[in-house]
Amino acid sequence: MDEAPSNGAGDLRVWHHPVLGELQEARPVQITVDGQPLVAREGEVIAAALLAHGILVCRAMPRGREPRGVFCALGRCSDCLITVDGEPNVRACLTPVREGQVIWTQAGLGRWEGPAG
Partner 1 sequence: MKTTGIVVIGAGPAGIAAALAAAEVGTSVTVIDEHPAVGGQLRWRIAPLRGLDEALDGLPACRAAETLHERLAASGVSVLAGAVAWGLFEDGSLAVAAPDGGFRLQAEKIVVATGSVDLVLPFAGWTLPGVLTARAAQIMLHLHRVLPGRRVAVIGEGLDAAELASDLEMAGAEVVLRAADPAQVVASGEGRVERVSANGERREADAVVIALGRQPDPELALQAQVEFGYSVRLGCHLPLRSELLETSRPGLYVAGEAAGAVDLAESFAEGRLAGLAAAGATPERIATAQEALARARSPERSAEVDRMRPGSLGEARPETGTGAPWTSWAEAAAGGGQDDTLARVALCRCEQVTVGEVRQAIEEGALTINDIKRRTRAGMGLCQGIFCTRAMALLLHASRGIPLSEIAPMTERPPTRPIPLASLVEIEE
User: Distance of CA 112 to CAs 19, 85, 89, 102, Å?
Assistant: 43, 10, 9, 14
Least separation in angstroms between CB 37 and partner 1? 19
Give me the 19-58 binding string for partner 1, x by CB under 8 A, dash otherwise.
xx--x--------------------xx-xx--xx---xxx
How far apart, in Å, do the first and last CA atoms of the chain sit? Answer: 38
Give me the 53-72 binding string for partner 1, x by CB under 8 A, dash otherwise.
---xxx--xxxx-xxxxxxx
Least separation in angstroms between CB 73 and partner 1? 4
